[in-house]
């Protein structure tokens, strides 16, 4: 991460604009135990009260880190029932990083978010259809499989 | 624009800054090697 991803200008700009970056050694206590850290790098998205909403383990290239961080931001808002802000970040991720590894989960959660904010089931089926068309081998396509019947 | 990431090193300060700036926190557990 230090050699490739963190020196990247887009990564520096994205983090500076959107997040407070906090770095601690993997064995620093009590945080290491509190977050059950077993390998590095472990990246965790927290809300401003310290609650975890997204985690990745292992190296991420600049092209994968930014969408992963967008997914973390969107999931944080989603889990706070702040659906408009969640959707803005899911949409940004999918518009700017449609081929990223984070995209299928974003499509799935975008459908869930739209369903929860409208109580209309159509977005769930649309999420499955988009996933099956564009990411047929994704685990998120399999998780959305029941929604084909809606 | 900054030319490097300005990492905070204390959780309490990071959370206070996040609340003040209405942002989230990226927590990186790293191995300094």
Residue B33: pLDDT band (50, 70, 90) is confident
Residue A110 above 80 pLDDT? yes
The ipTM of this complex is 0.95
DSSP labels, B1-33:
--SS---B--HHHHHHHHHHHT-EEEEEEE---
pTM for the structure as a whole: 0.95
Q: How far is Cα B4 from Cα B15, in angstroms, rounded to an integer?
A: 20
Give the pLDDT of residue B1.
61
Residue to mutate among B1, B2, B4, B5, with most A CBs inside 10 A, is: B5
Which residue of A lies nearest to B1 if distances are taken between CA atoms?
A: A13
């Amino acid at each position: 991460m230090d050699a490739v991803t963190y020196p990247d200008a887009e990564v520096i700009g994205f983090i500076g604009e959107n997040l407070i970056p906090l770095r601690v050694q993997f064995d620093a206590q009590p945080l290491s135990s509190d977050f059950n850290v077993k390998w590095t790098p472990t990246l965790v998205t927290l809300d401003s009260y310290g609650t975890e909403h997204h985690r990745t383990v292992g190296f991420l290239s600049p092209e994968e880190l930014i969408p992963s961080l967008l997914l973390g931001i969107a999931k944080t808002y989603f889990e706070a029932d702040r659906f408009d802000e969640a959707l803005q970040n899911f949409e940004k991720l999918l518009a700017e990083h449609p081929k990223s590894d984070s995209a299928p989960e974003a499509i799935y959660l975008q459908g869930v978010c739209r369903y929860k904010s409208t109580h209309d089931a159509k977005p769930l089926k649309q999420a499955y259809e988009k996933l099956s068309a564009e990411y047929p081998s994704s685990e998120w396509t399999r998780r959305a499989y029941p929604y084909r019947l809606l | 624009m900054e030319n490097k990431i300005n990492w905070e090193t204390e959780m309490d300060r990071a959370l206070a800054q996040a609340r003040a700036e209405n942002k989230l926190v990226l927590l990186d557990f790293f191995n300094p090697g």
